[in-house]
Structure 1
Amino acid sequence: MDPQSAAKTGQASSSPLESMMHRRKFLLFTGTAAATAALIGVSCKKDDDDNNNTTPAVNLGTGDVGILNYAYALEQLEAAFYIKVMQAPYGGITAAESEYLADIRDHEIAHRDFFKAALGSNAIQNLEVNFDSIDFTSRASVLGTAKAFEDLGVSAYNGAGRLLQSSDFLTLAGKIVSVEARHAALIRDLLQNGSFADLPSLQPLGAVPANGLDAARTPTQVLEIAKNYLRTPLNASNLPS
């Protein structure tokens, strides 16, 4: 894969939702109207007391709404990370790196805004992030975290696909996870040229298992990792399994 094209592909917008996106974002959301309509009349409880935490945990909900809120939570996290990266870029960032990371930021914002619009009144609240462990002045810290987030996102969508009942939502998830995988490949190439699809034996940058299938994580596994970057606790106990 050519890293200079990995985060650059785009098409013209044709729907009201797509018109809100940056002109270089992907045309990701064919079928949005059907997906949104399927959510009408479905509700989820936003907050649920967590006996182990003084802060009420945000309940992601049940069924497809719960899975979409789960994805929305992850997209909020990724969007917040790249926004912060681009607000004060790390020292020595090149023009190409700045352009690539700005494109990824725009894609993650588009993903976040799509889920918020599709969920409507069923969407969870804006989450408070915790990036205290990240050194945003360090290229290694920023790109290493970006790699971890992109890999986590790919494994999250792969693991959640089987939990979706709606074929429309499954199609949309497939369109988004492919973009996340493009991001993961680009970040790897920025860390080490040519490493975008290395085997896991070539750690720490190994990406693709010997069987050629990307990893899949359950929501529980994903949120156990993601909670290290979130101040807002999440309750995923009602998600399908």
Structure 2
Amino acid sequence: MNLFNIISEIEKADPEILDKLNSRRDVFAALGNMSKKAALAAAPIALGSVFNKAVGQQTLNSANAVLNYALLLEYLEEDFYKQALAKTGLIPSGAATAAIQQIMKHETAHVNLLKGALSSNANPKPKSFDFGPAFDNYANFLAYAQSLEDGGVRAYKGQAGVIKSAGNPNDVLTVALQIHSVEARHAAHIRSMRKANGTANNAPWITNAEANNAVAAIYGPGNPTTTFPSEENFMQAGIDLTSLDSSYTRALASEAFDEALDDTSVRTVVGPFIKN
């Protein structure tokens, strides 16, 4: 999981991070109290909740950087579904397998589109990905799939400002929008599959910041929170949406809009899965 590498990178971004926490020893002691498998499953959640607010920031500043960031996420998702389909008996036969096969094909198409847009500037695929207990059972697989798909939607939206300032070279905006909408459909379908499996009573949309046993940090705030609020946000363009109609609850307002997430917060969550 390269936890020490992650801590090191966080310290580079914010040398005073350990002063803001109790101590490095306390952080690892807390992780050490969990079983090995539980620690692996919870590490993205733990790291996201502990560090996102402290060091979350936008680090991408060019069209190619945005496209390579998207490519990394698509490499990860493509490999996730390939590994799942390769594990005998993990996904029920029939409609469930057919759906995951189709989603994997979409991810492969996204990889090819991004590599084509980047041409010789495309970063290579990481050597491997380790998703820990994601493939221990079908329920785990669907929870991780939901996390990755919902995270992908927020990740693409988080780069809108960079794409705008880049002047849209290489049709970056077109590429991003073509993929963003499909990731949202994937997320909705995975959520429906979880509900059908009886492992989560969640709707096809996100209500508040409810993770429903997925990776909680995916639904939380980024940094700064004014730019990257959590999915429970009910304010849009400075307007309290619940003030517009007495029947418009905070939950409903949160469902009506997706929130962006900065790239550092996203990388903090998915980083432990990537083995370079």
- Structure 2 unaligned spans of 5+: 1-5, 10-58, 197-201, 220-230, 233-252
- Structure 1 unaligned spans of 5+: 1-49, 54-59, 233-241
> In structure 1, what is the equivalent of residue 260 of structure 2?
216
Aligned length: 176
> Deviation string for 1:133-165 (max 9, x for gaps)?
134241011111100100110010010122112
Counterpart code for 2:64: V
Structure having the higher helix fraction is: 2
**2:126 pairs with 1:118:** no
Counterpart code for 2:175: L
Let me know the Cα RMSD of the aligned residues.
2.6
> In structure 2, what is the equivalent of residue 22 of structure 1?
none
Q: Does structure 2 conserve the Cα–Cα contact (< 8 Å) formed by 1:134 and 1:145? A: no
Q: 1:229 to 1:162 in 2, by over 3 A?
A: same
> Deviation string for 1:43-91 (max 9, x for gaps)?
xxxxxxx9x58xxxxxx98510111011001100000111111122444
C-alpha separation in 2, matches of 1:68 and 1:219:
12
> In structure 2, what is the equivalent of residue 81 of structure 1?
80
C-alpha separation in 2, matches of 1:73 and 1:203:
23
**2:269 pairs with 1:225:** yes
**Greater C-alpha radius of gyration:** 2
4+ residue segments displaced more than 4 Å: 205-209
> In structure 2, what is the equivalent of residue 67 of structure 1?
66
Shift of 1:130: 3.1
Q: 1:224 to 1:205 in 2, by over 3 A?
A: closer
Shift of 1:169: 1.1
Shift of 1:203: 5.3
Q: Does structure 2 conserve the Cα–Cα contact (< 8 Å) formed by 1:89 and 1:136? A: no
TM-score, length basis structure 2 = 0.58
Q: Does structure 2 conserve the Cα–Cα contact (< 8 Å) formed by 1:188 and 1:195? A: yes
Shift of 1:92: 5.9
Between the aligned residues of both structures, percent identity stands at: 30
Which is further off, 155-164 or 188-197? 188-197
